[in-house]
Structure 1
Amino acid sequence: MDPHTSAQDVMRCDLCETAVVQMHCDTCFVNLCKACVGEHISADLSKPHKIVDFKDRKSTPLYPGCTTHFKERCQMYCKQCVISVCTKCIVSDEHLGHKLSEIGQIIDEKRNSIVQEQTELNEAIYPTYKGIASDVQNRMSQLEKKFEDLSASITKHGEVWHIEIDIIVKNLKAVVDKLKNKQLETLQKQLNETEQKISKIGEEIKLLENAIDSKDISKLLSFKSNLDEYRELPQKIMPSLPVFSPKRIQGDQIRKLFGVLTSHSLTSDKHGYSLKINQKSTEAGSSPPVKRLLDKPETVTTIDTGYRTSLYNVACQCDEQIWTSGDDNTMKLFSINLSSVLKSIRTNLSPFFQADIAVTKSGDLVYTDHNDRTVNIVKNEKTEKVIRQLKLKPDGICSTFSGDLLVIMNSGDYKESIVVRFSGSTEKQTIQFDDTGKPIYSSGFYHRHIIENRNLDICVADSKAVVVVNQAGKMRFRYTGHNPAPKNNPFSPRGITTDSQSHILTADYYNDCVHIIDQDGQFLRYIDCGLSNPHGLCTDANDNLFVAECTNKQVKKIKYM
């Protein structure tokens, strides 16, 4: 094969141009065959030629070429002139007295600087921008919802006005009908009296005719008519019609009466986002510091709660305090550091039904009453029914980042389960079916728990799966456990919670562990550190996990990140 005319060929020696390349000069960047190595070195003895196998080419650092001396490579760096210099530059008077460093040291410093920048980009800037993007998306979603609520409020106010106007119109028309009927009744009475007199006048005319034709002179002389009675005519009744005088309202007047929108604007805050790695935020959508899961979670504190037979649920009041609920009608507030009861709330709950508990954004305790079909709130040690007369039986409950309450409820026969969002006592949203019309949540007598993730997903521990939908109620995924499980028992999720990294944690009752999955449903690892029948879960602001162990009535504080 002719190397000069063939379309494809192996690489050839740069000197002889015929032999196959076997070696490489990393100093001069020349490809060589073994036979031409000696010729290449002897051609320029002023350089320290580094000959390597062709496969190892470019393994030697490529020093920059000198800008002053042609073909010279710089191995030193002048910090005063901020340029690379070769040996000829050094012996010249141009850099006399300047501080020189080996270029390798400068390269190491530069490489360390790049590594630091890379670390900052990977661990701070990139996650922060991802968080900003998530924050903006969440704000957009919330903004759309708020504007929808605003439009709905205006529509509802319009409907109220229509109702009020309809009532006014109805009342005015009722008054008109009443006046009409009264006046018609009066005229009808006069008509009846007139028709009676017409009948009598007809009879009177016949009597007169009979008198005229009578041959009985005595009767004729004694006849006397009632003409005087009929000469006195009835009064003429003149109905007086009411007049409707509509109020003239100018367009701007009615707009002001109806309601006005407050001023609005878009503002920006240059200090709105931060790259501080140790920053901690519990608001949905903000950028949390990057944390890693520990290889071996550890139990930090154990609290004996003192319930009689079972402990069901736990909720964080703050970093130092937790609420618990168990097998009786008492809810207890514990000091974590002192492991002692700070407060007890007595309720009318039945001991046979678990009351789920949560803490609102304002720090108040809320709980569900299955039998009474109410949601209750404890303020200043007084209990109020915040949601009452529910058609379904409330089960799991959580407080959202926006301040709403999410309640999962069951029908009386436990054949239907539904998630309802409440703003105060007003129902805002229901989640029950997927896009195909199939129920999202399972049927049956199970206690279900619910939590909102940082990305505003709604997560439910539902019988034998964790079911996650987005904020709009659209199905995202269903997590059915991971194999092998610590005790090889079927997946049985109970309590559920999330953390600052949007991890979803759920208690696996029969496998004595907690599953950690990411926000997209991928299994990450187990927390398996001597737990016994874990039931309720919650996390605090520092990502400490609290596990309510059902049978031994203990709460364990676990460090896992």
Structure 2
Amino acid sequence: MLNLISPAYENIRKELESHITSLDGEYEKLTTILSKHGEEWHKEIDGVINQMNTELNEIKANHRDILIKHLKEIEQIEALLKENMSTLKDLERVSNVVSTIMEYTSRNSEFRKPPSKVDVSFPTFCPKPMDREKVYTLIGSIKPLTFTKNENGYILEKQRDASKELLDTPEVINTFNTGYKNPRSVSFYSEQEIWASAESNEIKCFAIRGYITKAIRNKSGEWPEDIAVTSDGCLLYSDWKLQTINKVVNGQIEEIITLQGWIPGNLCVTSSGDILVVMCDETKTQFKVVRYSGSVEKHAIMYKEDSTLLYPGKYSTKYIVENRNLDICVAVCAVGAVVVVDQSGKLRFRYMGHSSRSKQNRFIPRGITTNSQSQILIADGANHCIHILDHEGKLLGYVENVNEPVGLCVDKLDNVFVVEYKTGVLKVIKYLK
């Protein structure tokens, strides 16, 4: 019983530590949303002010036209007046010519009447008083922090869940051909959504019976380095050429993470909804694992306590998965090792294959997943099998006779999905009682 309780409390502690670690990232996401909302409001306000300025310029132009028209009328009268005065002076010079004087008609009465005066008032701006509470209501509101305490406490793992044993002979319960040459990854969401990728720019989605339900093409034209599926069924994939992590929502591709100086590799989605991404620098000599909350970087794992690299080796595939106990497991193909660290990045153990297979081919891990028992399943391409470890790294057994397995995942019943590299055949294998 203690063997069950102690790990349960360890998981509870790790879960709380994970929540604490994710605080900054979660609140940063809210701050980003709030700032974006503020920018949208500023745009709307700027738009209204610009519209009012446009109206003001139109009023000013109209104001000017009215005054210029009136000015021209006054200038015209003034010209007539000057012309009349010039005529009178001419008459004075020819005062002895009676006919000329008789022809003159006085316009004094016309000029004596003052012209109409045009009064144009300036427009006025009538600002409304600022009402902070009303503005706050219009923009939105922040729901206060809620805190509840469940007196029933945490639910410890049931003994029946911890006592699942391996089948003596694993059973292939389903199989279909993906049509891929050189497949790389498989990710299960439901029996209607099983995603698979290969050395092809097309990512396919299959139903459990093997027919394609939809497909996505990578924008860069290159194959995706890896794929994963979020808890709400959105496909994620890494594009090594564009150095982006992409999310597919309703068939539309969105770039959610863009890297500078680093190339994204394999990735996975954690139980908290974070994204773990393996990446290498542009020299392809240094590797690290980065945790993202949305598009916000939260934490990077790169070095052991002695400052040496956790993930050595040349540029190669490094499959990644988060275990149920929150450990981070990375299968490093080039050096033939699985490196397991806790969520803070502290090394827990390395698995280099088992001595029972030392006389056969070198251990080459080309896929990794975990199940509800916190067991770690590793695709061994060179030895045509899947290794099954417990959460401490102890070998429990194998799933044999899988032709160059690559890219693992499990469904909700812990059945393992694996693709054969040479044939492109996907197999669903039951290995637990």
Q: TM-score, normalised on structure 1?
A: 0.54
Q: Does 1:402 align with 2:272?
A: yes
Question: Who is 2:216 aligned against?
Answer: 345
Which of 150, 154, 167 is the matching residue for 1:268? 150
Highest CA radius of gyration, 1 or 2?
1
Measured after TM superposition, the shift of residue 389 of structure 1 is 3.7
Quick check: 2:405–2:418 contact (8 Å CA) kept in 1?
Answer: yes
Question: Where has structure 1 moved over 4 Å in runs of 4 or more?
Answer: 146-150, 274-278
What displacement does 1:510 show? 0.8
1:521 and 2:377 are equivalent in the alignment: no
Give 1:442 deviation, angstroms. 1.1
CA deviations on 1:237-287 (whole Å, 9 max, x unpaired) are xxxxxxxxxxxxxxxxxxxxxx99945545124275277667xxxxxxxxx
- Distance in 1 between residues matched to 2:282 and 2:157, nearest whole Å: 51
Query: 1:486 offset after TM fit, Å?
Result: 8.7
State the partner residue of 1:133.
9
In 2, Cα distance between equivalents of 1:276 and 1:460: 28
Paired AA for residue 543 in structure 1: D
Alpha-carbon offset, residue 311 of structure 1: 1.3
CA distance in 2, matches of 1:433, 1:495: 22
Specify the alignment match of 1:328 in structure 2: 200
Corresponding residue for 2:341? Answer: 469
Q: Is the 8 A contact 1:374 1:390 kept in 2?
A: no
SS at match of 2:215: strand
Counterpart-to-counterpart distance in 2, 1:510 and 1:406: 27
CA distance in 2, matches of 1:504, 1:271: 28
Give the conservation status (yes or no) of the 8 Å contact 1:392–1:412: yes
Match of 1:373 in 2: 243
Q: Check whether the contact 2:387–2:398 (CA below 8 A) recurs between aligned residues.
A: yes
Q: AA paired with 1:472? A: S
Quote the residue 1:547 is aligned against: 418
The alpha-carbon distance between structure 1 residues 541 and 130, as it changes in their structure 2 partners (threshold 3 A), is farther
Q: Can you list the C-alpha shifts for 1:44-98, whole angstroms capped at 9, x where unaligned?
A: xxxxxxxxxxxxxxxxxxxxxxxxxxxxxxxxxxxxxxxxxxxxxxxxxxxxxxx
1:498-537 correspondence runs (5 A): 498-528=370-400, 530-537=401-408
Aligned residues: 321
RMSD: 2.7
* Structure 1 residue 143, shift from structure 2 partner: 4.2
Taking the TM superposition and a 5 Å limit, the aligned residue runs for 1:40-439 are 129-130=5-6, 132-146=8-22, 262-263=144-145, 265-270=147-152, 273=155, 288=161, 290-307=163-180, 309-336=181-208, 338-351=209-222, 353-439=223-309
More deviation in 496-505 or 386-395?
386-395
Helix, strand or coil for the counterpart of 2:13? helix
CA separation of 1:525 and 1:492: change in aligned 2, threshold 3 A: same
Report Cα offsets for 1:473-528 as digits up to 9, x if no partner: 11111111112229700010011100011111111111111111111111111110
User: Identical aligned pairs, as a percentage?
Assistant: 37
**Contiguous gaps of at least 5 residues in structure 1:** 1-121, 161-258, 279-287
Paired position in structure 2 for 1:205 = none
SS in 2 for 1:519: coil
CA distance in 2, matches of 1:510, 1:339: 26
Q: Gaps (5+ residues) in structure 2?
A: 36-140
SS of 1:511's partner is coil
CA distance in 1, matches of 2:195, 2:406: 14
Q: Higher strand fraction: Structure 1 or Structure 2? A: 2
Cα pair 1:460 1:466 within 8 Å, conserved: yes
Could you give the per-residue CA deviations for residues 93-116 of structure 1, whole angstroms, max 9, x where no partner exists? Answer: xxxxxxxxxxxxxxxxxxxxxxxx
SS of the residue 1:144 aligns to? helix
What TM-score comes out, normalization by structure 2 length? 0.69
Question: What amino acid is aligned across from residue 177 of structure 2 in structure 1?
Answer: D
